[in-house]
């Protein structure tokens, strides 16, 4: 399998040339991943579909990704203490109360060109091999990529989903509108800075006889309690060592 992936990697590098930004081969997981620039996305995808030795005739999935605060922890669980794991009520609470802490509002307002990305899963039915393609949006504030609907018609709903959940615009899409959230939904719920309580709440108004949208009436809060476990797995290491020495 490793030799097959290495052969595929060489073929991709040969066909894409300078359009290939990065290529990573994971032999343990039998995965090949590449990255292309947004300006080369449509042309590179067409090559991957049509070129001899590649023939990626099927698009399996498109997933949006928000890399804001990538690698930051909400709470630390590296060590266990007698008082339980330390919960991130303060600090890097981006996962619960919006992006704060070390990432912060100031940092998120800066354009990195590496926040939003689309990840494409390709399959060659003819040659029985797979490829993952990632493409970052150049503008964090207004993420835009070329649509690939004219290359793989199945991309239609996938791109609508990424637009709905992440706010990624696919230029050239024939009907880019929300597909999972409601028509009046505000924001994009899979973005890291989207509040878990949402921006508005919905209720049915008896007098107006319709659904109305109102500001959220609840306050954001951490719902995971601090837990003290009477369990030897969480016993203090020092006490265990002292007990062993006494014995």
DSSP 156-195: HHHHHHHHHHH--EEET-TT---SSS-TT--S-TTSTTS-
Contact by Cβ (8 Å): 8, 34: no
- CA dihedral sign, ordered 101, 188, 158, 38: negative
- What total of structural domains would you count in the chain? 1
Q: What is the pLDDT of residue 226?
A: 52
pTM, 2 dp? 0.76
In a domain, 26, yes or no: yes
Q: Are 63 and 118 in contact (CB under 8 A)?
A: yes
% of the chain surpassing 70 pLDDT? 72
CATH assignment at residue 32: 3.30.460.80
Q: Please give the pLDDT value at position 240.
A: 53
Query: Encoding tokens for residue 121?
Result: 């899963």
- Residue 95 located in a structural domain: no
Residue 55 domain-assigned? yes
The region that residue 187 occupies, defined by phi over 0 for left and psi between -120 and 50 for alpha, beta otherwise, is left
**176 is a domain residue:** yes
Q: Is residue 11 part of a domain?
A: yes
Q: Quick check: is 63 in a domain?
A: yes
Print the domain residue range for 137.
2-68+113-215
Task: Say if residues 113 and 140 touch (Cβ distance below 8 Å).
Answer: yes
Query: Is residue 77 domain-resident?
Result: no
Has residue 231 been placed in a domain?
Answer: no
Please report the pLDDT score of residue 36 as a whole number.
97
pLDDT tens figures, 62-109: 999 999 877 665 555 555 444 444 443 344 444 444 444 333 343 456
pLDDT at 82: 45
Q: Which stretches of the chain score pLDDT less than 70?
A: 1, 71-109, 220-247
């Amino acid at each position: 399998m490793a030799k097959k992936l290495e052969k595929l990697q060489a073929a991709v590098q040969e066909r894409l040339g300078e359009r290939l930004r990065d290529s990573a081969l994971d032999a343990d997981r039998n995965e090949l991943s590449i990255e292309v620039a947004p300006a080369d996305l449509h042309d590179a995808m067409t090559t991957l579909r049509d070129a001899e030795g590649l023939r990626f005739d099927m698009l399996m999935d498109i997933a949006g990704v928000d890399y804001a605060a990538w690698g930051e922890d909400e709470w630390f669980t590296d060590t266990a203490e007698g008082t339980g794991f330390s919960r991130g009520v303060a600090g890097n609470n981006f996962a619960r109360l919006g992006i704060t802490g070390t990432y912060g509002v100031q940092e998120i307002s800066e354009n990195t060109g590496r926040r939003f990305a689309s990840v494409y899963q390709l399959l060659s039915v003819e040659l029985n091999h797979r490829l993952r393609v990632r493409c970052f949006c150049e503008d964090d504030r207004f993420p835009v990529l070329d649509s690939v609907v004219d290359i793989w018609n199945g991309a239609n709903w996938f791109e609508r989903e990424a637009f709905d959940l992440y706010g990624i615009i696919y230029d050239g899409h024939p009907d880019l509108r929300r597909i999972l959230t409601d028509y009046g939904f505000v924001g994009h719920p899979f973005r890291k800075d989207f509040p878990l309580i949402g921006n508005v709440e919905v209720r049915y108004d008896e007098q107006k006889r319709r659904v109305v949208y109102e500001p959220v009436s609840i306050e954001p809060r951490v719902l995971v309690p601090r837990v003290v476990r009477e369990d030897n797995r969480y016993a203090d290491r020092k006490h265990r060592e002292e007990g062993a020495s006494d014995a």
